[in-house]
Structure 1
Amino acid sequence: MAQAGGKLSLKARAVGLLSRREHSRTELRRKLSPHCEEPAELEALLDELERNDWLSQERFAESLVHRRAARYGMRRIVQELRQHELPEDTLKEMAGKLRSNELDRAREVWKKRFGVAPSDAKEYAKQLRYMAARGFTADCVRRILSEADSQLPDASFVDDTFE
């Protein structure tokens, strides 16, 4: 696989990258292009890798979703997939999978970071911004925060005899 002078061939570089983790075609093209003089040679290699099932857009999408789902919301993950120029049907499929358990994933992220209901409007906004920045929808976050708020003890149960 190595060429004269110890330099790796383009295919060896591609296989090395793919052996570590899944890559999108766009990402692999970007990483290999500095090592290739002819763009046509690179495209031919990428086509060959796809034909031999070494490179798969669907596997890449599944891999990325698996790596990111525990920390990020559907919007952020789909945006990242879109940056890799995946086909629209793959994006829709992944969005559907993520949407099915979005609330549960958001609840876990919120519990890990905050775990307690916001005490005032400033804290509410902070928690909402944090969750939104991770790609969770505002409706999803509002639902989690309202669930947390409803679990707070009612003010009528507070004993104020020691105030």
Structure 2
Amino acid sequence: MLTRLTAKRLVSDDRFVTSFVHHHAQRGQGPIRIRAELRQQGIADEAIDAALENTNTDWGLQAQSVRQRKFGAALPAGMAERAKQARFLQYRGFSSDQIRAALKADVESWSLPE
């Protein structure tokens, strides 16, 4: 049955992957987490790569939006808060570059406890 549906192009991994990427990006998940979930479902890396490249999502902006929804518009006040927000974004599946872009605070301006 599944073979016939696939032959008639009624079932397509490519369409599923595209829909999955779009849906999970809208839910605030990053590309690393999306890729891991698709791999867990047995989807080929080529299909995942193609879907992630063809999405119009700016992942750095997406990470910033997710951070603002969770923690508010103000940038983290100290290193502990910055680490907390970075861990949250890492759990959501964003890369270190995307996390740095979302937390674009001047770390050198923080005063260290003495």
TM-score class, shorter-chain normalisation, is 0.7 to 0.9
Q: Which residue of 1 aligns with 2:77?
A: 119
Bigger relative CO (Cα 8 Å, ≥ 6 apart): 2
TM-score, normalization: structure 2? Answer: 0.81
- d(CA) in 1 for partners of 2:86, 2:66: 12
Secondary structure of the residue aligned to 2:69 is helix
Q: Which residue of 2 aligns with 1:47?
A: 3
- d(CA) in 2 for partners of 1:47, 1:87: 18
Among candidates 13, 17, 21, match of residue 57 of structure 1: 13
Q: Which residue of 1 aligns with 2:64?
A: 107
Q: Match for 1:85: what amino acid?
A: G
Compute the RMSD of aligned alpha carbons: 2.1
Residues 47 and 74 of structure 1: is their aligned pair in 2 closer, same or farther, counting only changes over 3 Å? same
- d(CA) in 2 for partners of 1:99, 1:80: 20
> How much has 1:98 moved relative to structure 2?
5.1
Which ranges of 4 or more aligned residues in structure 1 deviate by more than 6 Å? Answer: none
TM-score, normalization: structure 1? Answer: 0.59
Q: Which residue of 2 aligns with 1:145?
A: 103
Q: Which residue of 2 aligns with 1:11?
A: none
Q: Which runs of 5+ in 1 are unaligned?
A: 1-44, 155-163
Bigger Cα Rg = 1
Deviations for 1:70-104, whole angstroms, at most 9, x for unmatched residues?
21100001111111212222121123235961112
Q: Match for 1:69: what amino acid?
A: A
Q: Which residue of 1 aligns with 2:36?
A: 79
Count of aligned residue pairs for this structure pair? 106
Secondary structure of the residue aligned to 2:103 is helix
Contact 1:78/1:94 (<8 A) preserved:
no
Q: Which residue of 1 aligns with 2:112?
A: none
Among candidates 2, 6, 24, match of residue 68 of structure 1: 24
Secondary structure of the residue aligned to 1:66 is helix
Q: Which residue of 1 aligns with 2:47?
A: 90
Q: Which runs of 5+ in 2 are unaligned?
A: 110-114
Q: Which residue of 2 aligns with 1:30?
A: none
- d(CA) in 1 for partners of 2:22, 2:56: 14
Secondary structure of the residue aligned to 1:126 is helix
Q: 1:4-15 maps to which residues of 2 (within 5 A)?
A: none
Percent identical pairs in the alignment equals 30
Contact 1:74/1:99 (<8 A) preserved:
no
